């Protein structure tokens, strides 16, 4: 293994968050400031973690204005990503269709649609029959109302990692995969003097650290004696044999948490909330369970009865990274100066990474902080801070 | 020639595709699977795994400074064992199958 260079900023985790942050941090600066030296380390290969295990949905339909606007910007980055990074990301903008099975769920969608319209998003509430006009295979007996935004879409997640990794490397970022961090010391034994990071490939120093390890972040934070409040939750997903293109939007069902889309490869890809979603005792677990496959199969056959003869080809699992109030955790830990986190994205980090990384990188380089850096600040979990509820309600899975 | 040698028939992955992945530094079998898509089709690698492992080892061992692939190991196998209809899975776990298929 090659030795690891000392860095201004070390990023732990080469998922989409860490790589997108590295890319944005290393972007050529103006003449006056030099770009910081960035090292990214990861214990596994690219796409091993949740960035390689998610459903690839990119949507702008959220319930808070901040998230809608963030995702509008993220969608814009995604739409230009293939051309800019010269890599095919298999993006298809067929929209997102949310189905509500109860009046209460329909009212929530209505409220969210109003927020989205204020942000300029063309989301519309539609009747069940209109939903079936979009997806003729739908059984709509249990649908009360739906909303549809035609500008949402799906991507194939993996090329985003390669795209960001190659572009970051071109800008001088050193990316070390298969390089787990085994210890972190504060240099000089005091706060604010930087860190010494140990890996099997050797040790290196960094003025600052950003932990972008998703559901594995609490384990990284423990290395500096910090305790993060997030916990992992296993979510499973399956993929079918490829079919002729027939399903335009990503379809989601409020009551079950089911989501399913058809990728540009033709496969149906989807998951569902599981009643036995366990806490996994704080450990990330990635095993596949038959209970998921059968639950998902029943829900899919109910949603689109014509799918009965479609074959499931593979299933896998990945961790959602849950924070206590549902909002992400982004910023410097109050007790460990120089140690930053960007985690807690609750299964929706992939679609948010392009925009979150852009603004977080700007702030780390001294730019004006985006509003999310206040809302998602880790200090809100400091002892004595009043418990708070995150504003976002539009989660899937 | 390598561009015409199909190693993974489900996903049309050629020997040249594998060599390209290795040139970019993707030498772990899981990385090559992700970068080329080999083994993610209906056969789930049952036909192509050996051929691709051999190609990775050959490509990774070649050239000055080329990284040697680690001892080849199969990638994580994913359920179901064979492609299975949703209707069959939907019936599983609720009642015994009415007949063998």
Model pLDDT for residues A37-77, shown as the tens digit of each residue:
999 999 999 999 999 999 999 999 999 999 999 999 999 99
Tell me if A293 and B85 make a contact (CB, 8 A cut-off).
no
What is the tens place of the pLDDT at every residue in A249-292?
A: 999 999 999 999 999 989 999 999 987 666 567 789 999 999 99
- Whether residue B64 has pLDDT greater than 50: no
* Listed residue (A389, A384, A355, A388) closest to A372, CA to CA: A355
Q: With CA atoms as reference, report the closest residue to A181 among A229, A207, A216.
A: A216
Asked if A298 lies within 8 A of B90 by C-beta distance, the reply is yes
User: Is the pLDDT confidence value at B69 over 60?
Assistant: no
Q: Report pLDDT for B75.
A: 87
Model confidence over B78-91: pLDDT tens digits?
Answer: 999 999 999 999 99
CA Rg value for chain B: 17
Q: SS3 sequence, A46-78? A: CCCCHHHCCCCEECCCCCCHHHHHHHHHHHHHH
The C-alpha of A212 sits at a distance from chain B's nearest C-alpha, in angstroms, of 20
Which residues, in sequence order, are bridge partners of residue A12?
A41, A211
For residues A3-9, give the mean pLDDT: 94
Domain covering A7-51+158-230+325-381 in this structure, CATH number: 3.50.50.60
Q: What pLDDT is attached to residue A277?
A: 61
Neighbours of A129 (CB within 10 A): 10
Contact A263, A211 (CB under 8 A): no
CATH code matching the domain that covers A93-153+231-322, chosen among 3.40.50.1110, 3.40.50.720, 1.10.1040.10, 3.30.9.10 = 3.30.9.10
Q: Which residue has the higher pLDDT, B100 or A387?
A: A387
| Average pLDDT, integer, range A340-356 | 97
- Poorest-confidence range of A100-109, A117-126, B37-46? B37-46
Fold of B2-91: Arc Repressor Mutant, subunit A (1.10.10)
Q: Is the pLDDT of residue A299 over 90?
A: yes
CA distance B56 to B71: 11
Mutate to test the interface with B, among A162, A312, A316 (most CBs of B within 10 A): A312
Average pLDDT, chain A: 94
Query: For A315, which of B79, B87, B90 is closest by C-beta distance?
Result: B79
In chain B, where the domains are located: 2-91
- Taking the CA of residue A313 and the nearest CA in chain B, the distance in Å comes to 5
Say whether pLDDT at A339 is over 50.
yes
A170 touches chain B (CB under 8 A): no
Instruction: Go through A274-294 and write b for each residue having 16 or more CB atoms within 10 A of its CB, e for each that does not.
Output: beeeeebeeebebebbeebbb
> Looking at residue B93, what is its pLDDT?
61
Would the CB atoms of A294 and B93 count as touching at under 8 Å? yes
Asked whether residue B65 carries a pLDDT value surpassing 60, the answer given is no
CA A226 vs CA A26, A250, A357: distances in Å: 27, 39, 23
Sequence-separated (6 or more) residues with CB below 8 Å from residue A10: A38, A39, A40, A41, A195, A197, A204, A206, A208, A209, A210
Q: Do B28 and A240 touch (CB under 8 A)?
A: no
H or E stretch covering B95: none
Percent of chain B with pLDDT over 90: 53
B57 vs A2, residue with greater confidence: B57
Task: Map out the domains of chain A as residue ranges.
Answer: 7-51+158-230+325-381, 93-153+231-322
> Min CA distance, A238 vs chain B (Å)?
9
Confidence at residue B27, expressed as pLDDT on a 0 to 100 scale:
86
pLDDT digits (tens, 9 = 90+) for A19-40: 999 999 998 766 566 779 999 9
**Start-to-end CA span in chain A (Å):** 39
**pLDDT of A281-296, one tens digit each?**
778 999 999 999 999 9
Interface probe for A, chosen from B89, B95, B96, B97 (most Cβ of A below 10 Å), is B89
Q: Using one digit for the tens of pLDDT, what is the confidence trace for A132-187?
A: 999 999 999 999 999 999 999 999 999 999 999 999 999 999 999 999 999 999 98
pLDDT tens digits for range A116-133: 999 999 999 999 999 999
CA A250/CA A234 separation, integer angstroms: 22
What's the whole-number mean pLDDT along residues A91-109? 97
> What residues have CB less than 8 Å from B31, skipping those under 6 apart?
A45, A46, A47, B21
CA distance A256 to A102: 12
pLDDT at B72: 60
Sign for the pseudo-dihedral over CA of B90, B91, B93, B97: negative
Closest CA to A212 of A317, A320, A340: A340
Report the candidate in A258, A69, A75, A246 with the shortest Cα–Cα distance to residue A150.
A75
């Amino acid at each position: 293994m090659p030795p690891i260079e000392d860095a201004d900023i070390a990023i732990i985790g080469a998922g989409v968050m860490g790589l997108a942050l590295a890319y944005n941090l290393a972007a050529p600066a103006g003449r006056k400031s030099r770009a910081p030296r960035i090292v990214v380390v990861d214990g596994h290969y690219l796409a091993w973690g949740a960035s390689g295990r998610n459903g690839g949905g990119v949507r702008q339909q959220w319930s808070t204005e901040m998230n809608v606007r963030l995702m509008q910007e993220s969608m814009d980055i995604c739409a230009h990503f293939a051309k800019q990074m010269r890599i095919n990301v298999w993006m298809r903008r067929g929209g997102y269709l949310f189905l509500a099975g109860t009046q209460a769920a329909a009212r929530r969608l209505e409220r969210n649609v109003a927020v989205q319209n204020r942000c300029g998003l063309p989301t519309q509430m539609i009747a069940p029959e209109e939903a079936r006009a979009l997806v003729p295979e739908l059984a709509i007996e249990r649908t009360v109302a739906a909303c549809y935004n035609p500008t949402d879409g799906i991507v194939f997640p993996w090329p985003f990692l390669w795209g960001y990794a190659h572009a970051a490397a071109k800008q001088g970022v050193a990316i070390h995969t298969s390089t787990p961090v085994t210890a972190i010391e504060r240099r000089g034994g005091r706060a604010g003097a930087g860190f010494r990071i140990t890996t099997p490939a050797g040790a290196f120093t960094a003025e600052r650290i950003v932990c972008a390890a998703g559901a594995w972040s609490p384990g990284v934070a423990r290395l500096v004696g910090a305790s993060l409040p997030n916990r992992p939750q296993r979510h499973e997903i399956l993929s079918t044999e490829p079919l002729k293109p027939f399903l335009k939007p990503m379809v989601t069902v409020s009551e079950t948490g089911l989501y399913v889309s058809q990728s540009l490869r033709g496969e149906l890809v989807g998951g569902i909330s599981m009643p036995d979603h366990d806490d996994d005792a704080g450990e990330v677990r990635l095993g596949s369970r038959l209970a998921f496959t059968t639950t998902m199969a029943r829900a899919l056959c109910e949603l689109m009865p014509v799918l009965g003869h479609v074959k499931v080809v593979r299933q896998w699992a990945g961790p959602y990274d849950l924070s206590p109030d549902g909002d992400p955790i982004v910023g410097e830990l109050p007790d460990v100066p120089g140690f930053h986190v960007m985690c807690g994205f609750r299964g929706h980090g992939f679609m948010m990474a392009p925009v979150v990384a852009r603004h977080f990188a700007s702030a780390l380089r001294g730019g004006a902080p985006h509003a999310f850096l206040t809302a998602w600040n880790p200090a809100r979990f400091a002892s004595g801070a009043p418990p708070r509820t995150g504003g976002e309600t539009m989660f899937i899975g | 020639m390598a561009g015409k040698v199909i190693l993974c028939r489900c996903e049309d992955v050629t020997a040249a595709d594998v060599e390209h992945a290795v040139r970019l530094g993707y030498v772990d079998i899981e990385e090559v699977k992700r970068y080329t898509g080999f083994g993610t089709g209906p056969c789930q690698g049952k036909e192509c795994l050996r051929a691709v492992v051999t190609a990775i080892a050959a490509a990774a061992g070649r050239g000055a400074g080329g990284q040697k692939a680690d001892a080849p190991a199969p990638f994580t196998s994913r359920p179901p064992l064979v492609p299975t209809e949703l209707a069959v899975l939907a019936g599983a776990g609720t009642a015994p199958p009415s007949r063998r298929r």
